[in-house]
Structure 1
Amino acid sequence: MKEELSYGSVKISKEVIAVIAGIAAQEVEGVARVGESLSSFIKFVSGIPIGRGLKVELLDKDVFIRIPIYVKQNVFFPDIARDIQNHVKEVVESMTGLNVREVNVIIKGVILGKKGEEDKVK
C-alpha cells in the first residue's frame, strides 16, 4: 500500500500487515499459536511468536488476510474464529487506515495440555 502525502509518501508492506495481524490474533483468548506449523516460527515481536503462513493480499486500500492458527483445548471454534476476525480487522484498520475486507481463519490444530506441555497436537 502506498499513499501520497503532502511531504512524501507512506508505504506499508504486506509483511508489516502480516505481523500486525499475527499479533492481534495471538491476543485473542483461546489462541495457542499463530502460524502454519508448530516448527515454523521465524520472528518474535514483543515475545509473541509470529509464524509463517499468514498471507496478506492488497488491492488498493482493501486488505485480505489469511491466518492459520492452533487453538487451546476446549474452545468453541466458531466463537474463536469470529473473535479473531473482529479483533484483527479492528487492529489492522486502526493502525494502517486500510479497509480489511476479509480475515480468513484456518484452524490447523488443537494444543493439548497445560502451559509448558503445549507440544501435544491433536
Structure 2
Amino acid sequence: MSVNSEFDCLIMAKRGHKMEYLSHLSQTAKRAMSSNFTERFKALTDELDRGWKVDLARRCGVSRPTVTHWRSGRTHSADPVQLFAIADYFGVNARWLATGEGPKWLEVADSTAEVSTGGPLATKGDTP
C-alpha cells in the first residue's frame, strides 16, 4: 500500500491500518500540524458554553485535561483517531483541522439531509 500524502497517513490510521504509516509524516508536516492545530481547535471552541470539554473528552477517549492541553497548545496535536473524533464532534473537515487545507466545513451531499454531529455547534443551529 503506498502513501501519497500526510493526510493519507491519517486516513489509514483512522481505518485501522498499522500506525507505522504515521512515520511517513515529515517533520515539517508534524510541526505545521501542531502549531496550527491549536489555533484551529481554539477557534472552534472560543464561544462554546460550559461542559463541552467533558463531552468531547468522552467521545475522544481522553481526559478533560487533555482537551484543555489541546486548546492551550501544551499538547500540540491529537493522534489520528482523536483528530477524526474532534472533526466529527464539531462537524468540520478532518483535513482542515489537521493541516488547514481544504474546506473547513463538511459538505452535505443532499440539501434536504439533516446533519447532526451531536457536537455543540449542531445544537446552536450552525450548519456546515
Same fold (TM over 0.5): no
Instruction: Write 1 or 2 for the structure with the bigger share of helix.
Output: 2
TM-score normalised by length of structure 1: 0.31
TM-score normalised by length of structure 2: 0.30
